[in-house]
Homo-oligomer: A and B are copies of this chain.
Amino acid sequence: MILKTDSPQNSGHKAKFVNNYLLYLLAAASEKASGQFHAKVRKAGLRVPEWRVVACLYDSDKMMITELAKLSLMEQSRMTRIIAQMVKRGIVKRANDGTDRRRVWVQLTPDGMALAQTLVADAKAHERALLSELADTDAARIKIMLQAVLKRLDER
């Protein structure tokens, strides 16, 4: 057992490991930032998983449920139920593939696209406000770094 000679004698926010631990910083930044934005999402009448679908479909004309599930960090069975709900509410529609009838695509309806455009604009404004704490070069770099970390994670 290694002796800890440098541990602070009093509390306060002296958790030096945690406050400098990548996974903690990612989880804390993600939870707090998403918590803020998700209030706007709910105000627009969407649940968080529905917002993820809308955001994914925003710049793809159509996607398959498997792709939506992967990108939205969700199980496929859960995604299938979410899509069924969203079809009922007129936010998305299903479309068959012209060549392969087993493939079912999901697309935004015009109403869904209008909602997507409003929320994506809100999301971008929220992101700009968050990144305004960083220098311009860093604001661009943090995303590149996170993408590199994700690439590393996907390789494992």
Contact = CB atoms under 8 A, between A and B. Distances in A.
Question: How many identical subunits does the complex contain?
Answer: 2
Given A130-B152, A134-B148, 18 more contacts: A11-B61, A15-B58, A15-B60, A18-B71, A22-B33, A23-B30, A25-B150, A26-B29, A26-B146, A30-B30, A32-B153, A32-B154, A131-B149, A133-B152, A134-B145, A138-B145, A142-B146, A145-B145
Contacts of A55: 15, 17-18, 21, 24
A57 to B, nearest CB: 8
B145 A130 contact: no
Interface of A: 1-2, 4, 6-34, 36-37, 55-56, 58-64, 67, 71, 73, 105, 110, 113-114, 117, 120, 123, 126-127, 129-134, 138, 141-143, 145-154, 156
Contact of A142 (B14, B18, B67, B145): B145
Nearest to A1: B114
A151 B25 CA distance: 11
B11 A67 contact: yes
Contact of A11 (B105, B114, B129): B105
Contacts of A13: 67, 71
B143 A142 contact: no
